[in-house]
Amino acid sequence: MDKIRIEDLHLRCIIGLNPEEREKQQDVLFQITLHADLRAAGRSDDVADTVNYKTIKLEIMDLVAGSSCFLLERLAEEVAQVCLKDERVQQVDVRLDKPGALRFARTVSVEISRTRS
């Protein structure tokens, strides 16, 4: 399966369990891999034959702007569902990094894979 990667999408949102995390937006880095058959687009050179990753990015930005999840796991699941709305996407891998979530650690990550079936 072919892949489209969106790497280091840097967004801010309310995320976390602690009271201070519920008041102030925090940085979250998104790593997203879309698995799809890209052969038709490779032959036609037409955006109509591929996954429009700009559209997906904008939908993710809208989702994140309005989110207030407690867990990275929940936010990752919601992002995966946005990606799978495009029927060409057969699988999506989503990794969310929350820098500074743990003292002495650069980041904490959650990574999930979801398929259409």
Which architecture characterizes domain 2-115 according to CATH?
2-Layer Sandwich (3.30)
Question: DSSP string of 59-93?
Answer: HHHHHHHT---S-HHHHHHHHHHHHHTSTT--EEE
Q: What are 90-102's pLDDT values in tens digits?
A: 999 999 999 988 8
* pTM of the complete model: 0.95
DSSP 100: T
Residue 117 has pLDDT above 90, yes or no: no
Phi and psi at residue 30, to the nearest 5°:
-110, 130
Average pLDDT over residues 16-22: 92
Active site includes 57?
A: no
DSSP bridge pairs for 110: 96
Contact 60, 79 (CB under 8 A): yes
Q: What are 76-89's pLDDT values in tens digits?
A: 999 999 999 999 99
